[in-house]
Chains A and B, each alone.
Chain A
Amino acid sequence: MIKRTLRRILSDHGMILVLLLLCAYFSVVTYSEQSPVGEAAAGQVASAIKSQFGKTPRVLIVGRDQADDVAFTNKLQATLASTGAQVLGVVNGEPKDARDALQKTAVSGGKLDVIACTESTAAWLVFSDLKGDFPSLGAPQVLKPKSYRWPNFLKSENLLNIANQIAIIAIVAIGMTMVIITGGIDLSVGSLLALSAVLAARIIRDHAGGVNASPLGMTLACTLAVIACGAVGAFAGGVITKFDIPSFIVTLAMMLVASGLAYILASGQSVYQVPNSFVWLGRGASLFKIPNAVLLMLVLYFLADGLMSRTWLGRYLYAVGGNRESARLSGVPVRRVLLFAYVASAMLAGVGGVIMASQLKSGSATYGNMYELYVIAAVVVGGASLSGGEGRMFGTLTGAFTIAVIQNGMNLTNVESYTQKVVLGLVILGAVMLDKIRRRQ
């Protein structure tokens, strides 16, 4: 029973194995020295001070004039204050500022036990010969956050970064999976993404109050943009089913139409008159620091997987792709099912466009260029068959992540972008070949 379940998981999601191997590989090659920064560093240094110098040490805190360091100094100051330590000074700046602070303390005749530094400030020359330079301070010790070894790849910021980068492609790939399962293809998603981004931004600019738009206004604008994409999808699906024209050709045409419309609507420029709060969807994070776009992606995947595996509509989609004539003769409303797939694909491309507009705080017709190819690659790497009838939603998600992990891993290992393209192309090919071989067995 367990063996069978395991085998089913492997055969359904064999790409997961490939993905895990890739993750393991990039973890090994990016294994390196890490030093905590910001509040995490502050917590660590605070507890070190407490254990080494007891309750009331005299401390100077030194950080650079940077967000991370400011977070470090602020947090450390607050923590030390609450434990009763004596903070004689806080520096956020240059070595010169640190020297001034030391000078001041020395002049006022104060003693110093600890100089709490960040990884970088601890290396400043000003602290290299404290005994010689400031004998009156009484041999303070320079403390910095302890470093440890950990793969850059596996740092939580990096993993969230991967998820955030792939969220748009993954969401668009949901609709593409449906279309590919029905045996079709949708080349228009990249252009629809741009159209949606431009539409959302323009409606906010022209009708919802521009930079002063309300959350409701922005929501309505985004909804309208997605619905407009859905209408384009309905038109494409209608033409495909009514006239029995291959989806490749119809969506190729719609790709040009949608892209052209996006440029017209944006007047060839970027539409950026949107409120700051517009970035909530694309850059915000509300739950456990998980970006909103990633949350939305996960929710959509669970819904789509339920639809495909549990509902009659999902069964119809598979049946139409598996054998259209058999499905028709079994009473499946083939045209309506196909129409649904193309509308869903277009609307999800619209959602992707809205997220991208939010991430970049503007709408531009240049968005989503070549995205249809990445999206198709994600679906195919995820195990769907281009001849239809086969494929799984979470397979596609795995495929999307595989692509993202490869890109991210290559960025971390400093592979330049032209080589990245070559590698990515070969990996996509390899993944599909691997899948083919596995199926044959």
Chain B
Amino acid sequence: MTQTATMSAVSAPPLIAMRGIVKSFPGVWALRGVDLTLHSGEVLALLGENGAGKSTLIKVLGGAHRADSGVIEIDGQAADFQSPLDARDAGVAVIYQEFNLVPGLTATENIFLGREMTRLGFVSREQERRRAAALFDRLGVTINLDIPCRRLTTAQQQLVEIAKALAFDARILGMDEPSAALTSHEVSHLFGIIRDLRKRGIGIIYISHRLDEISAIADRVAVLRDGVSVGLRPIGDISRKEMIELMVGRELKDEFPPRSVKIGEPRLVATGLRRGRAVRDVSFTVRRGEILALTGLVGAGRTETVRLIFGADPREAGEIRLDGRVLAMRSPRDAIAAGIGLLTEDRKLQGLVLGHSVRENFALPNLARLSRGGFVQLRREREEFGGYVNTLKIKVPNQEQRARNLSGGNQQKVVLAKWLARNCEILIFDEPTRGIDVGAKYEIYLLMNDLAARGKGIIMISSELPEVLGMADRILVMHEGKVTGEIADARTATQAQIMKLAIA
């Protein structure tokens, strides 16, 4: 396979060639002269830390951003994408991290939005529906085609995105972290699709932080660092360790920091939590100094469970005690007051106010403490946040930077700073390293260990099994709203053992 791709590359002009692509944003040089070629029937993995410019590059390719300078050629012909529509007409489809779906429309309507199948001028719903069902069949999933997309899970929405791109037979497919929200089961399906597309001569640019996936699917690897391309090699010529080193620009020892924490008495005790079909009689305990992993397939009810603990949704039954005291939580405000913090899975929609400054975002749950007589003490606020910018190594030009302009890793650090400043006793991390690069991941792991060492209780939701095994002291596996198993000593657990419980 790889062989043929390389062969055809020699004869035909590349499917796409990007040369000297430069793009800047206020205060940030996102790309400073990136070259990239993609051949027909090739999977090119794009690697890089957060803020390295991967997402920007793929947005330039998809016509969502216009490059300040540089050339894009398709089949050797210069192309100028003024809009995503131009890119689509040229056969380029990009699936972005942020979904491009109309929340109120069904999966079918979204897939055919703007190019509806018509008969005599009327939308032929039946035809569209059959086509959509066929697409999802090919993805090996079933999606409810009758409900609005907003009611689908994150993973299902992602699948709709993929189906949407497949629906108009793009020749170039960009995927920005397509697997981030998928379970390993769904990911292997996706790989099946990708291999199928590759066989049909489609060129694919694949962005992911999961190095295992890249080794499994990519033909070549391009590594970006600080907006410059620092390496472009066939997958056979590069080791996992080399990929990481190219990304971070230094040698890296371990993916997970070592930890030695003494686990103490129970701190958070949840019993008989219930909410609809999502959470069905869930009980568990988090002890002092412990990292409890909550894992399972997407949609198993993990996020829904922690939202009950955080008071974000009302619970139908169940009791929550913190240090023996029963908590009557009716809102996140109550939970925060009791000393619970939640780092949400979706930082952009639930963790941050994107249009506001990072400083204001940081201060939001801490305003009462930072205020005197109703007035926010700006100096204290700046000093305190400045401290976290230093200790967490948050990359921001200044504190007034809007949260929107930060990379995923830095956004997550701002959210973390928010809760660290609250000095929470129980911290809940929902997919803490989703969409975050290796370097920042390690820093976040270190912080979680540090928090545990200080006697906090930590709940970590993660779909990445290596992360679960590498970080957790104890593992709870959920399936369809129920706890299907507990692995008391995570050190002895295996991925197979977890998967068996997760599929139940």
Contact = CB atoms under 8 A, between A and B. Distances in A.
Interface stretch (B113-121, B192-200, B359-367): B359-367
A389 B353 contact: yes
B350 interface: yes
Contact of B375 (A310, A318, A323): A310
A323 B333 contact: no
Contacts of B310: 329
A322 B356 contact: yes
A319 B360 contact: yes
Contact of A333 (B333, B370, B371, B378): B333
Nearest to A331: B336
B328 interface: no
Contact of B374 (A312, A318, A322, A329): A312
Nearest to B371: A312
B425 to A, nearest CB: 15
Interface in B402-448: 418
B332 A316 contact: no
Interface string B302-346: 000000001010000000000000000001110011000010100
A319 B359 CA distance: 12
A441 to B, nearest CB: 9
Nearest to A309: B376
B313 to A, nearest CB: 11
A319 B333 contact: no
Contacts of A323: 349-350, 352-355
Contacts of A318: 353, 356, 360
B374 A311 contact: yes
A333 B360 contact: no
B367 A316 contact: yes
A75 interface: no
A194 B310 CA distance: 45
Contacts of A390: 355
A12 to B, nearest CB: 12
B436 to A, nearest CB: 19
B12 interface: no
A328 B331 contact: yes
Contacts of B375: 310-312
A330 B332 contact: yes
A8 to B, nearest CB: 9
A315 B360 contact: yes
Grouping DSSP codes into helix (H, G, I), strand (E, B) and loop, the A interface class, with mixed when no group exceeds half, is: helix
Contact of A315 (B337, B342, B355, B367): B367
B356 A319 contact: yes
B354 A331 contact: no
A68 interface: no
Given A312-B368, A312-B376, A326 B353 contact: yes
B337 A325 contact: no
B355 A389 contact: yes
Interface residues of B, number: 30
B364 A319 contact: yes
Interface centre among B310, B331, B363 (most CB of A within 10 A): B331
Interface string B94-131: 00000000000000000000000000000000000000
Nearest to B310: A329
Interface in A382-426: 389-390
B255 to A, nearest CB: 30
A224 interface: no
A391 B333 CA distance: 26
Interface centre among B349, B350, B353, B356 (most CB of A within 10 A): B353
A327 interface: yes
A313 interface: yes
A322 B365 contact: no
Nearest to A312: B367
Interface string A327-362: 111111100000000000000000000000000000
B365 A331 contact: yes
A70 to B, nearest CB: 53
B351 interface: yes
A328 B376 contact: no
A312 B344 CA distance: 23
A328 B344 CA distance: 12
A289 B358 CA distance: 45
B403 to A, nearest CB: 9
B374 A313 contact: yes
B418 A329 contact: no
A330 B371 contact: no
A326 B374 contact: no
A327 B355 contact: no
Contacts of B418: 330
A315 B363 contact: yes
A311 B373 CA distance: 9
A318 B360 CA distance: 10
Report, nearest first, the 7 A-B pairs whose CB atoms are least far apart. A322-B353, A312-B367, A331-B336, A330-B364, A323-B353, A330-B365, A331-B333
19 contacts: A311-B371, A311-B375, A312-B374, A315-B367, A318-B353, A319-B356, A322-B356, A326-B364, A327-B353, A329-B344, A329-B350, A330-B364, A331-B332, A331-B333, A331-B336, A331-B364, A332-B364, A333-B331, A333-B333
Interface of B: 310, 312, 331-333, 336-337, 342, 344, 349-356, 360, 363-365, 367-368, 370-371, 374-376, 378, 418
Interface of A: 310-313, 315-316, 318-319, 322-323, 325-333, 389-390
